[in-house]
Amino acid sequence: MSRPLYRGLSGGNGRLSGGGDSFDKIFQPKVFSKNGSGHEPSSPFGSSRNRQSLMISLLKFGLALIVFMAISGSLYWLAYISTSSQVNVYRGYRRLQELLISDLSLVGELSHGVGRVRELEFCPPEYENYVPCYYNVSESSDLAEVDGHIEYERNCVAGVPKIQACLVLPPKNYRIPLRWPTGRDFIWKENVKITGQEFSSGSLTKRMMVEEDHISFHSDSLMVDGVEDYSHQIAEMIGLRNESNFNEAGVRTVLDIGCGFGSFGAHLFSNHILTMCIANYEASGSQVQLTLERGLPAMIGSFTSKLLPYPHLSFDMVHCARCGIDWEKNDGIFLMEVDRLLRPGGYFVWTSLTNTHRSLRDKENLKKWTLIHDFAESLCWEMLSQQDETVIWKKTSRKKCYSSLKAGPPFCGKSHDIESPYYQPLNPVLED
């Protein structure tokens, strides 16, 4: 019999195996090495993970190094500042001040067309508390004795030799004031000029505590019961629950006349009320200087014969606590200045020993009180309340009130410039 022919692969291993390796396994590619032996190719994912892990480790190390260098630099800078002596800080402050004056002088000379800049000199020590246009070191002392109140009046006298062109330096041991709010209740003793007699008189020690190198202010520096109780009393007299509700009554700006050392204004600042302090010029123990050192607004100003340097309707409240002004004098012209400064609906707060029932038993005090009360009515002021030493009036916001008055001060004419009142003589007229 003839044998059947089989189709398949030729050669010794020509037949297909049934239960052995599959076709894919037979033809799987191999990698040959140099010696000719083959091996399976390695997976690429293992080496990639190793590289990523190495890069992450290097990145973490770099960030840690940067943070370490930043912290080290900050600590070094803090240590350098803390170890710097006060003498070097003061010298740096002096150099910056001299540079600023030099730059301002250069700008001034160039603006006047002067090409040659003069060298500025330091003023003598007696110019330390110099104030222009007041009778102090640079003006004649004989002029200050002409009138009893002339020393409080701003007066640039013609013919009086002007201060020489020199740089007025701060006091010898002056220190940079502390930042707000710490500086509000703590100032350096050497920064202000207060004599030993003023310290020993007791008028200052009742209001502040004098330490070896600094002065700290008490919270009860205005009244016996304390400034907080005093401001709370004013709020209740207006009809408010407490002083934190002043804004509800429209009180946002206050003019404090004869402000002492700014304790009333410092308290109002905590209730977001801006208070401007004005006081007379004082060569020593200056209220303005002490208030400014506390970081509060203050300027030299007085009720004498000229308008205060504020436009009309500037303040929501005018406050006078034992400020020493005789409101009944000069036909009430000082009260008219208060009326000019107050906005419609504003308040005039007057605290004085004259207002007590015991003081009004005196005929002279009663006469003064009657004059002030009647003149306030002629200004269309409404007396809201009187408690102990404090009286509060409210300025009217109704124009019809002025036309209904049978007697009172006249109104200013149309030619009167109400926008330029600075240092002009007091005018006995009402500004509508």
* Residue type at 26 in one-letter notation: I
Q: How far apart are CA 331 and CA 368, in angstroms?
A: 12
Helix (H) or strand (E) segment spanning residue 274 = strand 274-279
Q: What would the 3-class secondary structure string for 330-396 be?
A: HHHHHHHHHHHHEEEEEEEEEECHHHCCCHHHCHHHHHHHHHHHHHHHHCCEEEEEEECCEEEEEEC
Residue 209 has pLDDT above 50, yes or no: yes
Residue 83 has pLDDT above 70, yes or no: no
Q: How confident is the model at residue 326 (pLDDT cuts 50, 70, 90)?
A: very high
Q: How confident is the model at residue 27 (pLDDT cuts 50, 70, 90)?
A: very low
pLDDT tens profile 182-207: 888 888 888 887 765 554 433 343 45
Cβ(288)–Cβ(299) under 8 Å?
yes
Residue 330 has pLDDT above 60, yes or no: yes
Q: How confident is the model at residue 225 (pLDDT cuts 50, 70, 90)?
A: very low
Q: Look up residue 81 and give its two tokens.
A: 């500042």
Pick the residue with more confidence: 298 or 40?
298
Q: How far apart are CA 206 and CA 198, in angstroms?
A: 12
CATH pick for 226-404 out of 3.90.660.10, 3.40.50.720, 2.60.40.1840, 3.40.50.150: 3.40.50.150
Q: What pLDDT does residue 164 have?
A: 58
Pick the residue with more confidence: 188 or 27?
188
Q: How confident is the model at residue 64 (pLDDT cuts 50, 70, 90)?
A: confident
Q: How far apart are CA 226 and CA 232, in angstroms?
A: 10
**Cross-strand bridge partners of residue 386:** 391
Q: How far apart are CA 170 and CA 14, in angstroms?
A: 114
Q: Look up residue 62 and give its two tokens.
A: 């770099």
Q: What pLDDT does residue 372 have?
A: 94
Q: How confident is the model at residue 224 (pLDDT cuts 50, 70, 90)?
A: very low
Mean pLDDT of 289-299: 90
Where do the structural domains in the chain lie, given as residue ranges? 226-404
Question: Which string of b and e fits 90-118 if b means at least 16 CB within 10 Å?
Answer: beeeeeeeeeeeeeebeeeeeeeeeeeee
Phi, psi torsion values for 72, nearest 5 degrees: -65, -40
Residue 158 has pLDDT above 90, yes or no: no
Helix (H) or strand (E) segment spanning residue 32 = strand 31-32
pLDDT tens profile 124-157: 877 777 777 776 553 433 433 434 444 567 777 6
Mean pLDDT of 271-284: 87
pLDDT tens profile 359-382: 999 999 999 999 999 999 989 899
Question: Could you give the dihedral angle defined by the CA atoms of residues 294, 297, 303 and 304, in that order, rounded to the nearest 10 degrees?
Answer: 80
pLDDT tens profile 246-268: 988 899 999 999 888 888 988 89
Q: What pLDDT does residue 201 have?
A: 38
Q: How confident is the model at residue 14 (pLDDT cuts 50, 70, 90)?
A: very low
Residue 15 has pLDDT above 60, yes or no: no
Residue 294 has pLDDT above 80, yes or no: yes
Q: How confident is the model at residue 334 (pLDDT cuts 50, 70, 90)?
A: very high
Residue 343 has pLDDT above 60, yes or no: yes
Question: For all residues of the chain together, what is the average pLDDT?
Answer: 75
